[in-house]
Structure 1
Amino acid sequence: MKKQSYALGMIETIGFPALVAAADEAAKAADVKVTTYQKADSGIVTIYIIGDVASVKSAVDTGGEAAKRVGQFRHSHVIPRPDDHVIKMLFPELIDDSVENAVNIKQHEIIAKDTSNKEFNKMNLQELRELANSIEGFPLPSDEISRTKKEELLNIIVKFQATKGGEK
């Protein structure tokens, strides 16, 4: 069973205004994507948020506080690295890695736009490792990525992108 490299956050409220306030605050609080919402009986609604684990935790906390100010907040929860089956249960219309691809779009845009190291040098080692693990066809296995030093990993990412760019 494949685990994802992102987190799934949920905020449940009673009433739509509280949900909209929670979604707005969550989206503004961190680099996350508010994907969808679901309605249940008695005015209960839930929003789903995806992004990296720390960002989703921050967004869910901030969104929950906003929901409390505007209306009735019921509950919130964050699932770090949810299994594929959980995502397919919640979002049956999504095919394979489309959620993960949406989450990683910012990282892939950095690779596509800038192979000169400017953006990569701003990343810490953990962010570089997550990026390397998210790149399809990356030459190092994940256990080796987790042992590679920052400068070496940075060089491998840039070289890999340069060779992929030359293939297009």
Structure 2
Amino acid sequence: MPSQSAVGSIETKGFPGVLAAADAMVKAGRVTLVGYIRVGSARFNVNIRGSVSEVKTAMAAGIAAVEKTEGATLESWVIIPRPHENVDTILPIHYTPESEIYRQRVEGGGAPLQSLPGNS
């Protein structure tokens, strides 16, 4: 994990809110979506990784997107600069094989956009 890596997390009530947040975050900053979790009845959490400054930018966009989404509620959010390796290992905030291609792209060494999953 790079020393300047950060994690950002947004919890919403309602799936459309977490979808809007995830989309806004990956469009606003050079961050990687590392996953989402259903944390309760109609509550969802989405996690991103990237440099501290990019996570801050992306989180601002994600929060704004939730607030603009009809019926969605922003429950909580947090930015953790340089999470401890124990936190990174145990909690579901680490890069996964599915997110790795996007991480490489964000960090400048990834595949061209047309070769990413879902693009033809």
**C-alpha distance in 2, partners of 1:48/1:34?**
6
Q: Unaligned stretches of 5+ in structure 1?
A: 111-168
Structure number, greater radius of gyration:
1
Aligned ranges for residues 114-125 of structure 1 at < 5 Å?
none
**C-alpha distance in 2, partners of 1:55/1:7?**
9
**C-alpha distance in 2, partners of 1:55/1:93?**
17
Q: Sort the Cα spacing of 1:109 and 1:87 in 2 relative to 1 into closer, same or farther, 3 A.
A: same
User: Which amino acid in structure 2 is aligned with residue 80 of structure 1?
Assistant: P
Q: Percent identity?
A: 30
**C-alpha distance in 1, partners of 2:8/2:33?**
9
| TM superposition shift of 1:4 | 3.8
Bigger strand fraction: 2
Verify: 1:88 aligned to 2:89, yes or no: yes
Secondary structure in 1 matching 2:4 = coil
| TM superposition shift of 1:5 | 2.8
| TM superposition shift of 1:77 | 0.7
Aligned ranges for residues 13-162 of structure 1 at < 5 Å?
13-70=12-69, 71-91=72-92, 103=103, 106-107=106-107, 109=109
**C-alpha distance in 2, partners of 1:109/1:3?**
15
Counterpart of 1:161 in structure 2 is: none
User: 1:88–1:94: 8 Å Cα contact kept in structure 2?
Assistant: no
Q: Sort the Cα spacing of 1:102 and 1:20 in 2 relative to 1 into closer, same or farther, 3 A.
A: closer
| TM superposition shift of 1:89 | 1.4
User: Which amino acid in structure 1 is aligned with residue 82 of structure 2?
Assistant: R
TM-score (norm 2): 0.74
User: 1:3–1:83: 8 Å Cα contact kept in structure 2?
Assistant: no
| TM superposition shift of 1:39 | 0.8
Bigger helix fraction: 1
Secondary structure in 2 matching 1:12 = strand
Q: Deviations over 1:66-87 (max 9, x none)?
A: 0111111111110001111111
User: 2:7–2:55: 8 Å Cα contact kept in structure 1?
Assistant: yes
Return the structure number with greater relative CO, CA threshold 8 A, min gap 6.
Answer: 2
